[in-house]
Amino acid sequence: MNGCYCLIIEFNENKKLKIGSRLEIDFKKGCYVYIGSAMNNLKSRVKRHLSNEKKLHWHVDYLLKHSEITEVIYNLDKKVECDLSKEMSKNNEYIQDFGCSDCECESHLYYFKNEKEAIEEVIKAYNSIDCEFRIGISDFS
C-alpha cells in the first residue's frame, strides 16, 4: 500500500517549539494538517506517526511530540503530496518551510482553528485535484 496522507493534528496550547536543530516556531492552539507521502509503505509510515515511541527525524515528529493525531485522510497509489499542498496554500494559513525540504512547496503544514475546518479543507483539496481519498485513522491500527 502506497500513497499520500494528511494528518489532522490537535494542538492544545500556544507554544514555541524547537523543530530540528535550526527552527523555532510559535504554534497556536488549534488544528494542523500535515501533508506527507509514503510511496513504499503508507501503513507503516502513518503507524510510525501515530506512535509515541519514535526517534525524532522529520519536522512533524517534533510537533507530534506535543500534540495528537485525531484523523488521517489519505489516497492510494498516487504521489499527490505537492498537488495537495499547493491547493491548501491558496486560502489557508501555513507554517513557512515546514516539512518541505525536498520539494519546492512553501509548506506542508497548515493551520486551522478547529478539526471540522481542517477536514473540510483537505477534502476540498482532494476534490480540486480530482483524486479519490479515504478517511480513517482506524485503517492504520
The amino acid that residue 112 corresponds to is: F
What does the pLDDT read at residue 109? 96
**CB distance 59 to 97 below 8 Å:** no
Global model pTM greater than 0.85: yes
- Check pLDDT > 80 for residue 95: yes
Per-residue pLDDT at 102? 80
Across the range 94-107, mean pLDDT stands at 88
pLDDT of residue 13 exceeding 80? yes
Q: How confident is the model at residue 43 (pLDDT cuts 50, 70, 90)?
A: very high
Q: Is the pLDDT of residue 39 over 80?
A: yes
C-alpha distances (whole Å) from 45 to each of 27, 49, 54, 76, 90 are: 24, 6, 11, 13, 27
Q: Residue 85: which residues within 8 A CB-CB, separation 6 or more? A: 35, 100, 105, 106, 107, 108
Joined grid coordinates for residue 58: 522529520
Position 21 scores a pLDDT of: 77
User: Alpha-carbon distance 84 to 74, whole Å?
Assistant: 11
Q: How far apart are CA 4 and CA 133, in angstroms?
A: 9
User: Which grid cell sits at 51?
Assistant: 506512535
**20: DSSP letter:** T
Which of 31 and 102 is assigned the larger pLDDT?
31
Q: pLDDT band for position 82 (50/70/90)?
A: very high
